[in-house]
Amino acid sequence: MDNAKKALKRDEVREIDRKAIEEYEIPGIILMENAGRNVVEEILKMLPDPDKAKVAIFCGKGNNGGDGFVIARHLYNKGVNVSVYLTTQITNVLADSDASTNLKILLNMNLKIKELQKGDIEEIGKELQDCNIIVDAIFGTGLSGEVREPARSLIMKINESNIPVVSVDIPSGLDCDEGVVLGAAVKATKTITFVAAKAGFFKEYGREYTGELIVSEISVPKELIEEHQK
């Protein structure tokens, strides 16, 4: 069965996550760690010389941003020069659970986290020109409303950069179920998605924005996924 036939909608993926955490008792932070490490493996394939590479990581306040924090930690440990940008305030993330834990680790490692304001977008556009790869961990599959500022301008600036973009789970701003652009969406070079491909990847603008699609296994029991793909 190909990825399109196995594709799941937002509510199906949420239910799989819920069962994995509540019924199989897999801590959510383990799923987040596996997701982040798997993305790092794909990024390293794109970097012939990690020691000389620079990667910009854009993180939102939810679990997608939490994956981004894991990615930042592992890339840093591999010798990559990482810049971490947050589309919200640090205090907003620290109120969350799994994402909060991974952000605290970065802060304890003394990695600088830049909190983005709308006025920063032009300057960031200049900073991106030195980067080898941009990581998009801004919005996950839960996004359903229009992308607001400063994320909207940021997404447009990322798309203008002509730098390879790796999207975490879904290109930020793409509707998970319908594949429509929610005001603005990241045009990914490569999308590493978790559990299963998302239905929106194969509708409307999905293929255009997703780029190369990789479905990554993050230790969710396979029978949980398969029962939703029948």
> In this predicted model, what pLDDT tens digit does every residue of 27-78 receive, in sequence order?
999 999 999 999 999 999 999 899 999 999 999 999 999 999 999 999 999 9
DSSP H or E stretch at residue 136: strand 133-137
How far separated are the first and last CA of the chain, in Å rounded? 10
Task: Reply yes or no on whether the pLDDT at 13 is more than 70.
Answer: yes
Q: What is the mean pLDDT of the chain?
A: 94
Query: Token match 């599959």: residue?
Result: 141
DSSP state, 148? P
> In this predicted model, what pLDDT tens digit does every residue of 162-187 receive, in sequence order?
999 999 999 999 999 999 999 999 99
Q: Which one, of 181, 159, 183, 158, lies nearest residue 170 by Cα?
A: 181
All structural domains of the chain, each given as residue ranges with its CATH number in brackets, are 3-229 (3.40.50.10260)
The mean pLDDT of 6-14, rounded to a whole number, is 94
* Residue 117: per-residue pLDDT: 83
DSSP assignment string, 84-113: EEESS-HHHHHTSSHHHHHHHHHHHTT--E
Query: Helix crossing, 63-77 with 98-108: angle to 10°?
Result: 30
Task: Reply yes or no on whether the pLDDT at 1 is more than 70.
Answer: no
User: Which residues does 90 contact at the CB level (< 8 Å), separation at least 6?
Assistant: 103, 107, 113, 115
